[in-house]
Structure 1
Amino acid sequence: MTERKIQIVIVGGGAGGLELARRLGAKYGRKRHDIILVERNRTHIWKPLLHEVAAGSLDANLDEVGYRSHCHRWGYRFFLGTLEGIDREQREIVIAPLLDEDGSELIERHRIRYDWLVIAVGSITNDFGTPGAREHCMVLDDRAQADRFRNRLLNHCLRVSHTMSVDPTSDEHVRIAVVGGGATGVELTAELFNSAAALRYYGLETFDESRLQVTLIEAGPRILPALPEKLAQAAQDELEALGVRVLTGTRVTEVTADAIITGGGERIASELRVWAAGVRGAPILDHIGGLETNANCQLLVRPTLQTTLDDRIFALGDCCSCIDPNTERPVPPRAQAAHQMASAVFHNLIHVMHGRPLAPFVYHDHGSLVSISRFSTVGSLMGNLVGGRMAIEGRLARFVYVSLYRMHLIAIHGWLRGLGLIVIGRVNTIIRPRLKLH
């Protein structure tokens, strides 16, 4: 009789889920364990890079990771599908039907059993119920949305360029409003000017960054609240020097098909609107399988990252709410948190399968870094430096910022292949076009 394999199912192939699948596959292989990754996309792109994909300065085709080739290399299995439910009594997850582009059903609704389940589905943008935001704003939650924004951006740049070539005295602009002064909003805003400056080399001779009118809207008292006030002000000064209109302490009350309406009654006209003002868990997680969730549809977990009502289900990354005992506040939704949680779940799964006590997750805040495209980088590093916080900017900050992505590559590919991809990536920055225009 064939021995039944221990089946560990990971739902979500983002930074944390993919790293966990690689580490479990590398450790156990397929002899006595069956490691399964369920993901609704066919490829992985590091989410902090999506603003570069949206602006056209990064070609995702060169940086994405195909799950099927990755699983073959690292000894786990990949299932294309979307989580629809959890049957905790039967220890099965329910996968929604897989549909073709024309709506026809390719694979019917089915179930996958698990001995241990890890939910790592990430987050979606939180529009806080603002009227019109969902209908009239774009978000950058995945590559498809970033590609859609890039295509619309290029279309409007082409429109303005054509108008200028017909009538050089025209005062046409591409008007863009970005809601949210966190890292995503600030980085996207700066990257837009980097891309616009390069368009003149790709056939839009009459178009440059002066044809952008970008407004960054933040409800809080300042942008980049995760950074020290001095660095946040330095970033705002850099954006304003580029020509960005930065509005702080400004609440958005409504979004229409052609404008952002603020609490003060101002109407900010715009062809493109991006909402980057917060994150929340996907609606499907709301009490899925009877599990506890908070108001933001995040799964509540214990210090071991096990869900509060089921020891066999773990959650990590943005989709879970884990209280940091040092601050008594939820661990912030950052890539570094997902990486640390993946490592903690990896070790706790090993412990639980060997009957050893599980260790509580301890979050180490290594700081925040924000890249203002090629113009500047600012951030703070945490640790035993300068009383626990060291403010950095300029070349040092840029080096550390780039290193974060390099460490991500090593985490999902291993040292040998990861270092090889870093070298290839460096070569690509020299030989490939500055912009992706298709």
Structure 2
Amino acid sequence: MQSQVESGSGLHHVVIVGGGAGGLELATRLGDKLGRKGKAEITLIDRTRTHVWKPLLHEIAAGSMNPDKHELEYLAQAHWHHFRFRLGSMDGLDRAKKEVYIAPFYDEDGVEIIPRRTFKYDTLIIAIGSTTNDFGIAGAREHSIALDTQDQAERFHRRLHNALVRAHTQNVPLQAGQLEVAIVGAGATGVELAAELHNTTRELAAYGLDKINADRDVKISLIEASDRVLPALPPRLSQSVELELRKLRVHVYTGERVTEVTDKGIYTHSGRFIPSSLVVWAAGIKAPDFLSQLDGLEANRINQLVVRRTLQTTLDDDVFAFGDCAACPWPGHDENVPPRAQSAHQQASMLVKTVKKRVAGKTTALPEYTYRDYGSLVNLGKYTTVGNLMGSVGGSSLFIEGMFARFMYQSLYKMHLMALHGFFTVFLQTLARMITRRTEPHVKLH
């Protein structure tokens, strides 16, 4: 079937593919600065109808956050901030014709809702993020759940809740692994999920599931191939987090490489078997596979598009990429800019200036991106928050924990919301949630 073509209004057309934290912030700011004034046409394309900040997915999975109260409707955001939103997934590109190809969109019953479409662009910005990398481990795809999307997080929560209800009502003793959750990968997502699960499983059990003793029956295991948790972060931070996890009776297995995942549990290279009916895969990332064959653009071994410091792809000045799907050089280091929320936010801010120059016809001397590391924060739910803040002199860092660290962690989410809605709206939303929180259960019960 021939594609429908959306070509725009004759203005400079900026197409942004991917409505994650960076892509949505960029579309919002460009809509306010260029779309509202009729200087350019801004189109955001994403495969889902709503946006949830990805660092919150572990809370949705654990049940400590109700996504209905935190998701943002793309259509509403586009209406308020003067850009267009189109639902769909990019699956191809023609750089010579300057066209982006969007696959047909199907509903949950397999019925085609939106036909294949083609979008013409003057500036294309790809910000489709990353997916979990299972490294081809046997059974990982079939028997584990990643936390890349809101749907996956909600699916895991339903399975967790069903497992608890089943255990509460059955007349036979619990089987090995029946209420054990195994988390593969002790990066930020893994350790934060482990702490949240420790809290929410006890909260869930307290709401009428009196036959379950959470301390005795619910087990959480964290498996990491490196020799410590949070291997990408400073050792002191890792040690502090691991100590807290062990206080929570989380079983931490470091130096254990997973070799197989089954419906009964996990096997590691040392011969260890960890029984588990619920496995979360949180080890490693890669960009979506189709990027490696995107009309000849240069990609690395994990499918990231290789870009210059201007965030332009190496083979096409009209195609940009940023965030987790881009391999951007980090001057003075032997690695690329790390795939973190703060780098995507910084890159989005720079691209606002870049696009304004391109719309004005200035295609040379574009800004170059320099990553600024402001530190790392790891939130262990209600138990504690730890992190390190990077100093401006000599790259020194300050270790923080407790209430101040938690305040800093929460402020990151508020900064994201303010980039989308402005200070006053976020203030009112925060106040409303503080009030309603007192009349609601602190864990999702279904």
1:396 to 404, 407, 413: 404
1:423–1:386 distance in 2 versus 1, CA, 3 Å = farther
Any idea what the Cα deviations from partners look like across 1:32-64, whole Å, max 9, x if unmatched? Answer: 421000000000000000000001110000000
Where does residue 293 of structure 1 map in the other structure?
A: 299
1:265 to 261, 265, 271: 271
1:363 to 365, 371, 374: 371
The 4+ residue runs of structure 1 with deviation greater than 6 A are 167-172
1:273–1:169 distance in 2 versus 1, CA, 3 Å = closer
Q: Which moved more, 1:7-16 or 1:220-229?
A: 220-229
2:9–2:41 CA contact under 8 A, matched in 1 = no
Any idea what the Cα deviations from partners look like across 1:175-206, whole Å, max 9, x if unmatched? Answer: 11100010000000110011012113422123
Any idea what the Cα deviations from partners look like across 1:262-317, whole Å, max 9, x if unmatched? Answer: 00011111000010011110112113121110000000000000111111111110
User: How does 1:147-226 map onto structure 2 within 5 Å?
Assistant: 147-163=154-170, 166=171, 174-210=179-215, 211-226=217-232
2:136 to 114, 126, 129: 129
1:404–1:385 distance in 2 versus 1, CA, 3 Å = farther
1:126–1:277 CA contact under 8 A, matched in 2 = yes
TM-score, length basis structure 1: 0.95
1:29 deviation in Å?
2.1
1:171 deviation in Å?
8.8
1:74 deviation in Å?
0.3
Where does residue 114 of structure 1 map in the other structure?
A: 121
Q: Distance in 2 between matches of 1:227 and 1:263?
A: 25
TM-score, length basis structure 2: 0.94
1:249–1:171 distance in 2 versus 1, CA, 3 Å = closer
Runs of at least 5 residues in structure 1 that lack an aligned partner in the other structure = none
Where does residue 110 of structure 2 map in the other structure?
A: 103
* Aligned amino acid, residue 291 of structure 1: L
1:106 deviation in Å?
2.0
2:39–2:359 CA contact under 8 A, matched in 1 = no
Any idea what the Cα deviations from partners look like across 1:238-258, whole Å, max 9, x if unmatched? Answer: 111111110101111111121
Where does residue 65 of structure 2 map in the other structure?
A: 58
Task: Give the aligned length.
Answer: 435
Where does residue 332 of structure 2 map in the other structure?
A: 326
Q: Which moved more, 1:303-312 or 1:235-244?
A: 235-244
Does residue 433 of the first structure (1) align with residue 430 of the second (2)? no
* Aligned amino acid, residue 191 of structure 1: E
Q: Distance in 2 between matches of 1:387 and 1:87?
A: 43
* Aligned amino acid, residue 183 of structure 1: A
Task: Give SS of 1:36's match.
Answer: strand
Q: Distance in 2 between matches of 1:297 and 1:16?
A: 19
Runs of at least 5 residues in structure 2 that lack an aligned partner in the other structure = 1-7
1:379 to 382, 387, 397: 387
User: How does 1:60-75 map onto structure 2 within 5 Å?
Assistant: 60-75=67-82
1:317 to 317, 323, 338: 323
Where does residue 421 of structure 1 map in the other structure?
A: 429
* Aligned amino acid, residue 157 of structure 2: R
Does residue 36 of the first structure (1) align with residue 43 of the second (2)? yes
2:297–2:314 CA contact under 8 A, matched in 1 = yes
1:94 deviation in Å?
0.3
1:117–1:236 distance in 2 versus 1, CA, 3 Å = same
1:168 deviation in Å?
8.8
Any idea what the Cα deviations from partners look like across 1:124-178, whole Å, max 9, x if unmatched? Answer: 0011111111111100000000000000000111122224xx5799998501110
Q: Distance in 2 between matches of 1:87 and 1:206?
A: 60
Q: Distance in 2 between matches of 1:38 and 1:171?
A: 45
2:181–2:276 CA contact under 8 A, matched in 1 = yes
Any idea what the Cα deviations from partners look like across 1:341-370, whole Å, max 9, x if unmatched? Answer: 111111111122331520110110011111
Q: Which moved more, 1:408-417 or 1:373-382?
A: 408-417
Aligned-pair identity in percent equals 48
Task: Give SS of 2:295's match.
Answer: helix
CA RMSD of aligned residues (A): 1.9
Where does residue 309 of structure 2 map in the other structure?
A: 303
Q: Distance in 2 between matches of 1:431 and 1:385?
A: 46
